[in-house]
Structure 1
């Protein structure tokens, strides 16, 4: 297929079907062809593919289920402790994996754990809180979500800088969400000795080794995950690697872990959402065409009017709130990509808080509606899988207070700290 694609491009070039080189378009702009090659941000694509492959392989080791069951046992079956442990785990998994994978792993284990502990009535609350926390955890690192990758890459924000600036907010928002969720859903600690003893007996039935099929692969995956995080974090300061970028690091680690499963490599290739990758590539091309057609210039003038001259608090807050609202009703990836291109066009400095307004707005807006992000949609799917009633309007009614709280905290944080 690759040979066919290359041959097709060469023939198209020879017969002039696909123009190559520089052409002048109306308005006097110089456009390099073919636009679909130059327009795509290949580093973003490499990070997504490399990270997806790496996470998929390492998740087969049973490492993440081992962590979840260890936390379940540490809670001694106490629902309130379990909520805090699972909430923290959701945030961390969302940071090092991706929102959807984190929700699938944590949501599945939550259902199993609460059923074994006889706490089915709390399942809706647990799953909804975890779904909301995936988008909070998605703010923690540069590779936690696609909007982060797009905006961070455009603004030139390093992995370490992103983490240091985002982590205080993530910590506060996580604590606030868990406190609010425990109160709203009536999740309380075990009080009597009988309840504690009964829960402890049920906990003995959990075995963290159930999902580990190979001890060697388990330790290999653990070491690889630590090395991957360290490599991504130090990419910008490591000689030679800094020139190659995070896309190279992600793909390199994917190759290393795939080499461990040479006989099953096709299975992992099949697990990649190629439709999603094609969507991202097409999105970059469309936005590039919009730029040359001066559509972004028109939208950018509206954004420039909204943020005002210079960098005002009112403009930053307006951009964050607008990003939140729009990302709640549409995919936050096109929104982040378009706004990143506009901010670059406006010459906004990489240290500006406007970039963070887009990051926070695009991620947290996903908590307003069940279609605002893929992870909240997965959370609702798991909720329906357990035959729990939750309509579209019901989700908004419950989630909106959480989203408002998180967005208000984010606005204050961006204006006061960043």
Structure 2
């Protein structure tokens, strides 16, 4: 069965990469085959925490999409777009740096998927105003969200899994990973200048028109804006206070969405019209396919072999874990990968004494999974969401268009993380 599961996943991955067939169709077809051949079953696919659909991710996305849909009706995204364009004085590279820094900072407090849901509408509007290609800006932002989200417990979904397994706090992530993330963001901003240089076209006429705009006039419904921002602020606070409140981010997002729809004049139809249903279905299918690999022991076998190869050598284990996690997270979504790998890392930490130095293995797993998620279009949840939004708005980003930049960014950021881990902990 392992061979069959691996074949189904490999074929599906090739089809997604080739874009010959829509990725949602491929994911659903792959999931159906996993169920048809009894590689997985309904119990595992729909209810298992280890090999089933991660409903926390699905409902987190749904809740935040509803909140974004309501906020869009207030004109706030147009306001922020004009504000950003005017502060950057229409300079494309300066605008990109501003947007990626905002994205990275927001991703450290929110989760990275929520951040890209909020920043993407702004990006479409500002690029349209300035006559810029939107794809490079979206790609840069999603990569910044994955890098920035690495810094905190709530910034990237894999970090929540790691914190639970490793008994790590919000402050642990800040102390151990935030300093590196700040350095990586400086490097990434410089990389953007090189990677996306062909997109930095300056149109004096469009810039002059934008500079003459008054951003306050973009707000069309102030009351709804205040209501939406108040709910969003409560949702963000609940995300940050997760270690205290113990409400899952998905629950917080759904409660926020429900409160916003119930307390405002927005109809249910209006609230749901911006939901990226194909993206949610794609995630469900992808989780079932990866679950098939988990059920047949493919992912666990690869991870266990890597752990056995280190033979108790902490330095070797750390480096192997970092780079193997980056490589595997580029192929499968980093959420199910971390869920599979975390019990093995917990064993490795115990085998190496369970002291503060052995905790480096958790940081290696987090950095490898989070930064490796930038490598391909399906490596991280935020990537999939942004590609879905881009396609819906008539600016599709191909698998390879994303991946050709993602591989470069991943190699450089993981390479920089290597000496950081070695010099600080080993």
The reply to whether TM is greater than 0.5 is yes
Which residue does 1:370 correspond to in 2? 377
Which residue does 1:203 correspond to in 2? 211
Matches within 5 A, 1:7-406: 39-40=48-49, 45=55, 49=59, 52-54=62-64, 56-57=66-67, 60-62=70-72, 63=76, 66-96=79-109, 98-100=111-113, 102-103=115-116, 105-120=118-133, 123-186=134-197, 199-205=207-213, 207=215, 210=218, 212-236=219-243, 238=244, 241=245, 253=256, 256-261=259-264, 264=267, 271=275, 275=281, 301-309=304-312, 312-346=314-348, 348=350, 349=354, 352-377=359-384, 395-406=402-413
Give the secondary-structure state (helix, strand or coil) at the position aligned to 1:369. coil
In structure 2, distance between residues paired with 1:405 and 1:235: 32
Which of 1 and 2 has greater Rg? Answer: 1
The answer as to whether partners of 2:326 and 2:371 remain within 8 angstroms in 1 is yes
Q: Deviations over 1:89-116 (max 9, x none)?
A: 2224444555455445544533442343
Task: Give 5+ residue unaligned stretches, structure 2.
Answer: 1-42
The answer as to whether partners of 2:322 and 2:368 remain within 8 angstroms in 1 is yes
Deviation at 1:82, TM superposition (A): 0.8
Query: Scaled by the length of structure 1, what TM-score is found?
Result: 0.69
Deviation at 1:61, TM superposition (A): 2.0
In structure 1, distance between residues paired with 2:276 and 2:195: 38
Deviation at 1:67, TM superposition (A): 3.5
Aligned residues: 370
Query: Scaled by the length of structure 2, what TM-score is found?
Result: 0.68
C-alpha spacing 1:280/1:344, structure 2 compared with 1 (3 Å): farther
Aligned: 1:413 with 2:420: yes
The answer as to whether partners of 2:151 and 2:181 remain within 8 angstroms in 1 is yes
In structure 2, distance between residues paired with 1:296 and 1:390: 29
The answer as to whether partners of 1:95 and 1:143 remain within 8 angstroms in 2 is yes
Give the secondary-structure state (helix, strand or coil) at the position aligned to 2:378. coil
In structure 2, distance between residues paired with 1:256 and 1:384: 29
Deviation at 1:158, TM superposition (A): 2.7
Q: Deviations over 1:369-396 (max 9, x none)?
A: 2333344455566778899898655654
Which residue does 1:5 correspond to in 2? none
In structure 2, distance between residues paired with 1:100 and 1:245: 15
Whichever structure has more helix as a proportion of its residues is 2
In structure 2, distance between residues paired with 1:107 and 1:268: 17
In structure 2, distance between residues paired with 1:51 and 1:104: 9
Which residue does 1:13 correspond to in 2? none
In structure 2, distance between residues paired with 1:400 and 1:277: 22
The answer as to whether partners of 1:95 and 1:140 remain within 8 angstroms in 2 is yes
In structure 2, distance between residues paired with 1:347 and 1:381: 38
Task: Give 5+ residue unaligned stretches, structure 1.
Answer: 1-33
C-alpha spacing 1:197/1:248, structure 2 compared with 1 (3 Å): closer
Q: Deviations over 1:332-381 (max 9, x none)?
A: 22211100132245564596121222222112212222333344455566
Higher relative contact order (CA 8 A, sep 6+): 2
Deviation at 1:406, TM superposition (A): 0.9
Which residue does 1:22 correspond to in 2? none
How big is the alpha-carbon RMSD for the aligned residues of Structure 1 and Structure 2?
4.5
